[in-house]
Structure 1
Amino acid sequence: MPKDFRATTLERAIGRQLAGWRSERELSLVEAGQRVGFSSAKLSMMENAVQPSAPVDVMALGYVYKVPTPEWQAVVLRAQHAERVRTRGPGAVVNFDPAADFANLVFESTVLRVFTTDLVPAVFQLPGYTDAVMQTDDPVRTARLAMVREAWATRLRDKDPLIVQAVFPEAVLRPVVGGPRVMKAQLLHLMEVSEHETVSVRVVPRGAGAYPAMGSPFTLLGFPHRQHDDVAYLETFVRGEYVEEQGMAEQCAQRFAALRSVALGEGESLELLAEAAADL
């Protein structure tokens, strides 16, 4: 393994694909390792992106698992690209869509710091709210938002639950998205989830004036493995993008800390949510 290895989101997606191949064939790590000639430890580290997945190893797994040739070839190409980026810096474009991968990253994270500017954070959106927002948008994006919500819901009562810290301006509470009934249900849901000990919801009041990162929503994800650095996720209706350069991720962390400092505390934010719900 390269010294002080840090897995990129692409390498983690490759590992997830390898784990999916094995799971589909109902093989244990030991059984799969015996078939391909790897130790179970090596296979586990590849699947969890704790070490790189060499293209030749991906090819061997595709062959042993009898994966359709076009499918394993596509993953080999991704592994080759990941290897080039790791050894020589950014190279050719690879077919990897962060927007499609984001729910997986949410499921794997331990801390989620979310700043939105005009919508309720995706992890807390009710289906009716999401549908109202996306009714004239891409249905694929709607499905992806649902996957993000489900990823958080699945982790809510884990022995190692996902910690979510959300900050958004008061303006998020005022548009009557989907009509009064849908919006009121959404606000009540926000009040409910904010009472979980692993959730922090803070609102920037309109009287705060200008505030850090104004107009620039982002999500910052933290992970349990030492080899997995923090990743920032940015999204528009055109595409999603991961920001993995650690200097930039640290800038997002600093902005988020500054946002929390200008936002209301959890108790005052809850009161503002209740007030907005009562107005509907």
Structure 2
Amino acid sequence: MGAKRNGASIRRRILARRLRELREGARLTLDEAAPALDTSASRLSRIENGQQKADVHLVKSMLDLYDAGDQWAEMLELAREAAKPGWYRAYGLGDNSYVGYETEATQVQEYAAGFVPGLLQVADYSRALYDASPLPRSAEERERDLAVRRIRQERLGSDVDPLEFVAILSENALRNPVGGRAVQQVQLDHLLKASELPRVSFQVLPDGRGAHPSLESGFFVLSFGDLGEPDMAYVEHALGAAHLWKEPEVTLARLKFDRLRTLALAPGESRDLIRRVAGEL
């Protein structure tokens, strides 16, 4: 089910890191390399930080200047992949959006503090959340966002482009009738069905656990498999979101997630709780 969709966000970071390593291996500073490449040191710095695209012609010049040797073919292929627009661009999302990074991830861990994770939401539940947002959304924009969510969810059952999803959600998220009780019932039924997917695992953090490591907000930890990029943490909060790449920050996110898993119900107990909540409706 589903075809692999392109994403440029992580490819651009990989290309940036590899180009920086080649320049440093050639013992050239930014100020020394830039004139030889007919560009500025500031532009070169942005490319090496993954903040700006590098066209293939410039990459060829860099490989020549840095004497890349047998890395030419691999680096050019990487440059072409990084230059392709991600599928999400057609839906108004940029390469630095969360979706841009999730597209390249092989595993997502998420703690959802107050609502069902987006990868497990039914459409009417998502619509209700969009309607509650203070940000104005046209009907067309809302349907666009729903389409993006559907595409993301396809990976949970895909053999071509699989995504492993490990989630922890609060009991409050189960009991909160987002969209009304009829939608809540459909959403709970969907959670039970999703729990049968081989790449989906979730646990419920029951009410009454007291203080725990992430009372303030939900968060994500994304892993990128054999792409060679380090894990990324992503935090959503009431006023925005933040991408976190520094190892101490990502390590803290992993530790918090592991701690929450020990406090949450086991997967089987979590399904039993969902059934009980559904039976109370």
Tell whether the structures are fold-level matches, with TM greater than 0.5. Answer: yes
Shift of 1:209: 2.1
Deviations 1:111-130 (A, max 9, x none): 10000110100111111001
Aligned to 2:50: 11
- The equivalent residue for 2:109 is 113
Aligned sequence identity (%) = 28
Which amino acid in structure 2 is aligned with residue 115 of structure 1?
Y
- Aligned 8 A contact 1:203 1:263 in 2: yes
Is the 1:169–1:205 contact (alpha carbons within 8 Å) kept by the matching residues of 2?
yes
- Tell me the amino acid that sits aligned with residue 148 of structure 2: M
Whole-angstrom distance in 2 between the partners of 1:258 and 1:190: 23
List gaps (5 residues or longer) in structure 1.
20-37, 50-57, 62-95
Question: Relative to 1, partners in 2 of residues 1:141 and 1:255: Cα closer, same or farther, differing over 3 Å?
Answer: farther
Deviations 1:192-214 (A, max 9, x none): 11111211110011132222212
What do the CA deviations read for 1:139-165 (whole angstroms, capped 9, x no partner)?
358844652442231352224521111
- Aligned residues of 1:113 and 1:219 also touching (Cα < 8 A): yes
Provide the rounded CA distance (Å) in 1 between the counterparts of 2:110 and 2:201. 10
Structure 1 residue 247: deviation in Å?
Answer: 1.1
Please say if 1:185 is aligned against 2:218: no
Deviates more, 1:231-240 or 1:144-153: 144-153
8 Å contact 2:235–2:243 — kept in the other structure? yes
User: 1:53-97: CA deviations, max 9, x gaps?
Assistant: xxxxx8xx9xxxxxxxxxxxxxxxxxxxxxxxxxxxxxxxxxx77
Contact 2:127 2:142 survives alignment (8 Å): no
1:208 partner SS: coil
Report what 2:224 is aligned to. 223
Indicate how the Cα distance of structure 1 residues 142 and 113 shifts in structure 2: closer, same or farther if over 3 A, else same. farther
Structure 1 consecutive aligned stretches of length 4 or more whose deviation exceeds 4 Å: 12-15, 140-146
Residue deviations 1:17-50, cap 9 Å, x none? x79xxxxxxxxxxxxxxxxxx965323222456x
Partner of 1:75 in structure 2? none
**Quick one: distance in 2 between partners of 1:270 and 1:260?**
15
Residue number in structure 1 paired with 2:79: 46
- Match runs of 1:73-222 below 5 Å: 98=96, 101-137=97-133, 138=135, 139=137, 143-144=144-145, 146-159=147-160, 161-222=162-223
Q: Match for residue 92 of structure 1?
A: none
Give the partner amino acid of 2:235: L
- Provide the C-alpha distance between the structure 2 equivalents of 1:13 and 1:107, rounded to a whole number of angstroms: 19
Q: Distance in 1 between matches of 2:143 and 2:235?
A: 16
Letter in 1 for 2:74: A
DSSP 3-state at the match of 2:119? helix
Q: Distance in 1 between matches of 2:179 and 2:273?
A: 20
- The equivalent of 2:67 in structure 1 is none
CA distance in 2, matches of 1:193, 1:13: 38
**1:263 Cα shift?**
0.4
Distance 1:220 1:179, change over 3 A: same
What's the CA shift for 1:226?
4.6
Partners of 1:12 and 1:190 in 2: CA distance: 38
2:103 maps to amino acid: F
- TM (normalized to structure 2)? 0.66
